[in-house]
Amino acid sequence: MTDAKTRIDETVKANDVVLYMKGTKEMPQCGFSSRVAGVLNYMGVAYQDVNVLADDEIRQGIKDYSDWPTIPQLYVKGEFVGGCDIITEMTLSGELDTLLEENGVAYDKDAADKIRAANA
């Protein structure tokens, strides 16, 4: 598990935004992963996707790394942000915008506003 932890640590520190998910950003393989990837894609956030279905060590390792039992998991600037429910809530409240802005991560503010308007 140390190898998985090292690989995860290197990935989250080398990329501004990382999404550990089932499937890929182009082809999510679960509804929760699809929702988070969809938000990031729509908002134009550049992020590294990691398909946990392709590597059992990473699939379990990411749960141990974050001490969070579910996937997807979003990291911004090396910090664990949350899973699907948390990212959904943060998107709708504007907290995700703030987090991205504070960390210098580019995103489309108009797209974020459209998500909120569509869910109001």
Q: Which domains are seen in the chain, by residue range?
A: 2-118 (3.40.30.10)
| pLDDT for residue 2 | 67
Which residues of the chain fall short of a pLDDT of 70? 1-2
Residue 71 structure tokens: 């996937």
d(CA 18, CA 9): 11
- For residue range 25-42, what is the model confidence (pLDDT) as tens digits? 999 999 999 999 999 999
- For residue range 92-109, what is the model confidence (pLDDT) as tens digits? 999 999 999 999 999 999
**What is the value of pTM for the model shown?**
0.96
The answer to whether 48 and 19 are in contact (CB under 8 A) is yes
| pLDDT for residue 100 | 98
Rounded (10°) angle between helices 31-42 and 84-93? 30
d(CA 104, CA 118): 26
How far out from the chain centre does Cα 52 lie?
13
